[in-house]
Structures are given as C-alpha cells and as structure tokens.
Amino acid sequence: MSVKAAQEWQFDGLVGPTHNYAGLAFGNLASENNAGAVSNPKAAALQGLEKMRLVRDLGLPQAFLPPQKRPIIPVLQRLGFGGGNGVSAMSYALDKAYKDAPHLLASIYSSSFMWAANAATVSPSADTADGKLHFTPANLVSHFHRAIEAEGTYRLLKRIFHNEALFVVHNILPATGRLSDEGAANHMIICSSHGKPGLEVFVYGAAERNIKKPVKFPARQQCEASEAIARSHRLLEDRFIMLQQSPEVIDAGVFHNDVIAMNTTRLMIAHEDAFVDKEKFIAKMQRSGIEDFSYIEIAAAALPVVEAVKSYIFNSQLLSLPDGGFVILAPGECEESEKAHMVLRDLVELNGVVTTVRYLNVRESMRNGGGPACLRLRVVMTEEEAAAIHPGVILTDGQYTALHQWVSRHYRDRLCLADLRDPAFVGELDTAYEALEGILGMPGFYTDLP
C-alpha cells in the first residue's frame, strides 16, 4: 500500500447549552465531587472554543462536533413521565421528573457528548485492509446519560463523513455490558508519522475471560468490544494489540485510559502503574518496526496515581507539530499541582522530547470530569479525505467568530437543576439549535428531530 501524506485533525466537542453538574458518572471523581454545583454553560463553551483556536494557531487542523439536541423529551416519556404531545404535556413530564427522579431529568439534558474522545473509535485508512477511514460510534452503555447520546453520534458522523467511497461509519455495537465500548479514550495509535501504517492499541479494563478486575469502580471498556471493532475496521492481525488497564488504577479513579496515558505518533507517555503486562507491550513495540518509538514512564514516586487523577495531567493533549516536535496542552490544574508541574517541566527540560507545555483554562469542563484530551476526537485524514468532509464543521476564522457570537447570544451563564424543569428553557434551546443549523450548513439537523 502506498503511503499518502496525512494530518491528525482535532474534532472537539462543542460544549452544549445544557452543560450542568449532576454528578451522573460513577467512578469519575471530579464529576461526582461537583454534583449539584451551579454550572456556567457559556464559559464552558467559550473556554472550549479558545482551546480549539489555540490548536489552529499552532498550525494544526481543527474541526468541531456540534452539540446534540437536548433535552430528549421522547426518552423521558418512554420512562413513564407524561403523555400526549404539546407544551402542556412536556411541562408536566419535566415537572414530574424533577420531583420524582431528578437524576433522570438531568440525564436527558446532559451535555456529556462534549467528551468527543468517547464519541467513537477511529482507524485511519493507512491501517485498514480496504484503505478507508473507519469509525465505530461508542455505545457508552456503562451510564444511562451517555448511552442515549450514541444514536446522535452515529447520525452526526454519517452527516460529516458522508462520502462512502472514503469513509465507513459502522453502526453502534449492541448495547450490552459484554460489549461495553467507550471509544477513543481507550484507543491509541502508534506510528512513525501520520499517514504511515501504525500499531493500534486497544486498552480494556474488563473481559469475559478470567482476569483480575477492579472492585470499587466498574471497568467501562470491554475487551470483546475492542476485538469486535478491530475486526469491523479490517485491521490486520499484526497491526493491533489488546492491552489491559490496571484494575488498581481504575479503582483509584482512572475511568478511561486517557486519564493515565497519552500518545501521538511515535511517542507514548504513561504512568508506571497504568497497564498490566506492560513489559510484554513494550517488547512488542520494540519489535514492531515503528521508527524512533519512545516510551516515557512517569514514576509513581514522582506522581502518585491520586495526583494524576486530581490534576488530569495525562488528559492533556499531546500533539505532533508540523516541525516534528511535540507540544502538551495541559489543564491549568496541572500548573497548580506541584508534582504535575514538575513532571511536565522535566518532560521538556530533562527528556527533551516535548518541545513545550501550554496551560489551558478549561475549568468548567474539568469540574464535570474531563480535560483537554476528553474534549477532542482525533481523526487522521489524507488531503482527499479532508476535502470530502462536511465543511461546516471546520474551524475557520469565520466559523470561530460565528460560533463565539452564537454561544454568547444563546447560552446561559448560570444553570442549576431547577432550571431544567422550565419549559421556557426548552424554548430557548430550540431557538438556539435552529440558529446553529444555519452556521453549520446543516438544514433540518435539529428541527427534523422529534
């Protein structure tokens, strides 16, 4: 197979206007600790937009995934709240859910789709037998508020990557615990450079076979799900590997691999306690033929797992720059953590592999359980593939300005659980989504939904 020039695009999830702190994600300590707090959707979305603009200013291609429509009233009605149609029925359903099951009300409003790293698993065309770019949207069955976003993600990816001669958007895996799939947050691709065939690393926390499992928090990624995706994406057997995440770190709050390890191209940075059988993994990488592969291990003595989770240092974005260097975009919380700050400083000053570290303010997102890497889905595309995507999701200067104005006009700067029972808020949201269709160039994307 000939090697085509390719670039890694960052598709960031644009934080939705219903961003709230409901603490719905068991095992995500930041999410649980901020349950019930008042959120600021406007600040969250604008912080995310600033991160996207920074990546673009670094000379890297940047796109975005628009927010899904919320609330999902039909789901609430399927759960026995209300009946009939119209504003009065909706008002009754919202009020009844607020009184009887506030966690379900928060779920149908959830903006968790903002965590684009969970949107799908992506295999670049250089790795697949048919030479196409493959996507499998995550089923996210471990949590109700996330599982209900899977169908919307599938619909969105089909709209963006619509050219079937270049792209394959697979359907979601069956919604069962045995095939629990959380997407690219548990998937890494090691290659000498974008566009060249690589080794895809699927990190899992649970499997049907007899392995040691976490006891405090659930393991969200099932090995059988990753195996199914590898088959569907037509990956050659010597081009992927299954790697078990340490059950001890899951119990310490590491709910996804991207909370304990990060990678891009030939570089991987991981905590020493991240994986089971890491020696076998490193040995395989050394035999893989990938040029200049570098594995940097962060010692527990320098950074205990609890501090890694608190600071989200491994949820930084590790990016390969056009000049061949690497940059880390770290959450501002890492600068406030003495240990995390020292680790990042040493990566630049001692290891010399990382060119620079930039600290970002994504505090609104961090309080809901995700940092810079959670907010983006990586998609490696050739020039032909990039030219074939829906252009309305590319972050041009014009789109940045339009999105900034749209957020400033339609988002609230204060949102609490009680606001979610108000049908007037639903009206505000419908107006916002209709306006966004014009910015995206996607007529009917929101208004044709029930």
Q: Give me the catalytic one of 256, 271, 341, 410.
A: 256
* CA torsion angle 136 374 367 401 (round to 10): -100
Residue pair 441/162 in contact (Cβ under 8 Å)? The answer is no
Distances (CA, A) of 238 to 106, 130, 241, 244, 440: 44, 16, 8, 18, 40
d(CA 365, CA 47): 9
Residues 403 and 442: their CA atoms lie apart, in Å, by 14
* Closest to 396 measured CA to CA, from 429, 360, 441: 441
374 belongs to the catalytic site? yes
Among residues 8, 19, 145, 182, the one annotated as catalytic is: 182
Residue 364: active-site member: no
In eight-state DSSP terms, residue 3 is -
With beta carbons less than 8 A apart as the criterion, state whether 191 and 185 touch: no
Residue 256 has phi, psi (to 5 degrees) of: -135, 160
| 182 counts as catalytic | yes
- CB atoms near residue 321 (< 10 Å): 13
User: What's the start-to-end Cα distance of the chain, in Å?
Assistant: 45
Query: Quick one: tokens of 110?
Result: 């959830």
Any idea what DSSP says for residue 134?
A: E
Active-site residue identified among 200, 374, 385, 410: 374
Run of H or E residues at 239: none
Cβ atoms < 10 Å from Cβ of 249: 23
**Residue 378 CA to chain centroid, in angstroms?**
9
Distance CA 203, CA 380 (A): 19
Question: Which residues belong to the active site?
Answer: 182, 256, 374
